[in-house]
Structure 1
Amino acid sequence: MKDNPLISVVLPVYNCGEFIEEALKSILNQTLDNFEVLIIDDASTDGTLELIKKYKDSRIKIIEKKENSGLIDSLNTGFKISKGEFIARMDGDDISHLRRFEKQYEFLKDHPEVSACGCWIEHIGAVKGVSKYLENHEDIQAHLLVSNPMALCATMLRKTAYSSFSFRSDSKHYEDYDFWVESMWECQVHNLQEILYYYRIHAYQVSTKWKNKQIEGDQQLQLKLFKKLNYNERMFSDSLIRKLIFSNESFRLSEFKKILQWFNVLRKRNLEYRVFEIKAFECVLDKLRRRLVRDTFLTNKRGERNFKKRIGLLLYLSSSEKWFVINRKLREKYKLIFKSR
């Protein structure tokens, strides 16, 4: 291994013996091979470490932790001791496309203003599918308001750009999302519009076991981002926003009216403060509003079946939203009529 590798692969592992060899092979066989592999073992008990030690590749450096101290500690250790100009994240149960490093490095080399380069990911294992993340920084940044818009495990980063950031100990189970929320106003990001990473879904992974904790953390981060727009938090309380935006709870007419006011206030505040790029922010607000309308009038997710109440709610919608709801309801009615014939 070279003393000054171009890339440091930060690979935290804990009891992933079933998948670690496939993960390691996808790294060691990359078309761009100027890298070190920092494997931080979090006191595995399933033979993971023994499988790793079978590989006699000089690019591999193993850090053995005597006690299990968690993923955040492993990530911070890996980022701190990395020697590369770039850091490529990877998880021990996933697979990287063999040209992933090459393509992400080439993009970062050609775009010095960009600090991190991600990609689309394909889900393998228990759940199939593809996560097609947004491409440009402004859209990715605005999308932080509704979900984690980049897979950190599939990202390559400039080490110097992120030297002042770390994974916070109080962000356990949502540390990736928190990392982006903290850094994205200083570091520009980009997602390549192709699948370069294969993310494994299985019952033993942290994101499956701690799903509820992760959702709670995600909501805290989203509230924090909305508050960048400096709206009146007494008028628009966290409990109101959680109820109408983050849950499927039933709500009162007055609450529905107030959350529509909140959308308008956010739009005006962003025009004033320019926290988010205008067009990207408008897209996110429209998405949130459409979801609220759909869940209230079309899916029955909130268990709202009171006809008079629905008519009352309908009056507060825009003309286009009213037409959307009425049109969908008429289509549903016609389908039922024709089906019964």
Structure 2
Amino acid sequence: MKNPVLTVAMPTYNAERYIGEAIESVLNQTFRDFELLIINDGSLDDTHSVVSSYKDARIRLINLEENRGVAHCRNLALQQARGEFIAWTDSDDLNEPTRFEKQLNFLQNNLDFGGCGTWLSRFKDSKTYYVTKAFKSSEKIKASLLFKPASVPNATAMLRLSEIKKYNLKYDEGLQISEDYDFIFNCSQYLKFSNIQEVLYHYRDSETSIMKSFEDREEQTFHILKTVYKKALVNLDIRASENELRLHHAICSRKMFSKFSRFQECCSWLENLQLANHQKMVYDTQVFNDIVAEQFFFLSKKASGFGLKTLSFFVKKSRKNCWSIKPIACSKLALRCVLKYDKFEFKLT
């Protein structure tokens, strides 16, 4: 039998409630030449029964006797995939009908790219409350991965499987929640990425979400993510200390600052990163400076509770370092600082 063009891989564990919707969002794609490889990771509920109720010949089910973790399942999918390309989808999420068609069209017409993602919406109870708009530029994606795991949202990724095998790229099964960030970062060292500039994937914010259990555990999250931070910073010839890794995490985190001095330290760390890249030329200089400028704006939002002191510091440092910020963003920060707004998301009530 002829191999399909695409393998759609769906790791799953105890997903009986939503997996039916997830499967249907794959089977209803406008592109049809794919296999749906479902890896049931030792589920204890009726996930197997729900999957088995679908009689579509494109579905291939692998049952694991015990729970091995999502990284193991992803590696197994990379080994078992029969397609030229592989796309991920989670067992409680939804895909737009044109997702695979649009991603395949991009990769088949841009042979120098090894993968692409899409924009992603987060929803709960059928209501969308946040959209991740990832960069299109491969250079911006590569540079922003120093700070942002979602520079290519892993769940939206479609990869050229021959390139993954060529460089022996795998998921680290020792990591819990950052195995996807680590994998995409490793891929970015060898492959060019882009993102389709529209929402083609819908992430369900459910109580069973892996990330959900870590949202309020800042310290544990840091200890998991710092493995990737270390690797990324070594590229800039920086062997970061524990405190420097915590500064880097403070820049990437959405946690508000309780001390102005910590905000200043984080700014100094960004300046050090900019200088290191200028010396090592790991990333395109202008692109990296733009990414650092965006991170400084992100950082300053978390210090808006200190009022006009933050705004003055922001303007001073932006001018000194030639960090260009869009006027509308500056206006929003100014309003936050005037109000001494002390929450990350800004809503006037």
Residue among 209, 212, 217 paired with 1:208: 212
Tell me what 1:185 maps to.
189
Residue 273 of structure 1: how far off its partner (Å): 1.5
Match of 2:235, SS state, is helix
Q: Counterparts of 1:23 and 1:244 in 2: how far apart (Å)?
A: 34
| Change beyond 3 A, Cα 1:328–1:316 | closer
Which residue matches 2:171?
A: 167
* 3-state SS of 1:146 partner: coil
Gaps of 5+ in 1: 334-341
Instruction: State yes or no: 1:122 paired with 2:124.
Output: no
Q: What is the CA distance between 1:71 and its match in structure 2?
A: 0.9
- 2:116·2:195 contact (CA, 8 Å) conserved in 1? yes
Task: Answer yes or no: is the 8 Å Cα contact 2:293–2:318 preserved in 1.
Answer: no
What CA distance in whole angstroms lies between the structure 2 residues aligned with 1:227 and 1:118? 26
CA pair 92-269 structure 1, distance change in 2 beyond 3 A: same
Please give the alpha-carbon distance, in whole angstroms, between the structure 2 residues aligned to 1:50 and 1:19. 13
Is 1:75 equivalent to 2:81 in the alignment? no
Q: Letter of the aligned partner of 2:15 in structure 1?
A: C
- Tell me the SS of whatever aligns to 1:178: helix
Shift of 1:261: 4.3
Picking from 259, 262, 274, the partner of 1:267 is 274
Does the CA contact (< 8 Å) of 1:236 and 1:258 recur in 2? no
> In the TM superposition, what is the alpha-carbon distance from 1:265 to its structure 2 partner?
3.1
Return the alpha-carbon distance in structure 2 between the equivalents of residues 315 and 22 of structure 1.
Answer: 46
Q: CA deviation at 1:16?
A: 1.0
1:319 and 1:54 map into 2 onto residues whose CA distance is 58
Aligned partner of 2:132: which letter? Answer: S
* 1:226 corresponds to which of 233, 254, 270: 233
Number of residue pairs the alignment of both structures matches: 319
Length-normalised TM-score, structure 1: 0.82
8 Å CA contact 1:207–1:214 kept in 2: the answer is: no
> What is the 5 A alignment of 1:106-117?
106-117=105-116
Aligned to 2:289: 282
| Matched residue, 2:159 | 157
Matched, 1:332 2:327: no
- The answer on whether the counterparts of 2:147 and 2:252 sit within 8 Å (CA) in structure 1 is no
- Which residue pairs with 1:337 in the alignment? none
Compared CA separation, residues 33 and 268, structure 1 to 2 (3 A): same
Q: Is the 8 A contact 2:251 2:295 kept in 1?
A: no
Q: Following TM superposition, by how much is the alpha carbon of 1:96 offset from its aligned partner in structure 2, in angstroms?
A: 1.1
Q: Matched residues in 2 for 1:121 and 1:25: separation?
A: 18
Post-superposition shift, 1:74?
A: 0.9
Distance 1:291 1:52 in 2: 42
2:342 equivalent in structure 1? none
The superposition leaves residues 287-316 of structure 1 with CA deviations (integer Å, 9 ceiling, x where unpaired) of 2333444434x324xxxx9x9xx69x9599
Alignment deviations for residues 255-282 of structure 1 (CA, whole Å, 9 cap, x no partner) = 7666544433322221222111222211
Measure, in 2, the Cα distance between the counterparts of 1:256 and 1:5.
51
> How far apart are the structure 2 equivalents of 1:331 and 1:113?
45
**Aligned mates of 1:87, 1:330 — CA distance in 2:** 43
Answer whether contact 1:40 1:65 (CA < 8 A) is retained.
yes
For residues 56-78 of structure 1, give each alpha carbon's deviation from its aligned partner in whole angstroms, at most 9, with x where no partner exists.
Answer: 11111110111111111111111
Find the residue that maps to 1:191 and give its secondary structure.
Answer: strand
Distance 2:7 2:225 in 1: 28
Deviation per CA, 1:132-163: give whole Å up to 9, x if none: 11111111111112211112211211101111
C-alpha offsets along residues 196-226 of structure 1, whole Å, 9 cap, x if unaligned? 1111111111111233344543344234323
Give yes or no for contact 1:146–1:284 (8 Å, CA) kept in 2: no
Of the structure 1 ranges 68-77 and 219-228, higher mean CA displacement relative to structure 2 is found in 219-228
Q: Which residue does the alignment assign to 2:199?
A: 195
Over the aligned positions, Cα root-mean-square deviation in angstroms equals 3.1
Contact 2:112–2:192 under 8 Å retained in 1: yes
Cα shift at 1:53: 0.6
TM-score normalized by the length of structure 2? 0.81
**1:23 Cα offset (Å):** 1.0
- For the residue of structure 2 that corresponds to 1:264, the secondary structure is helix
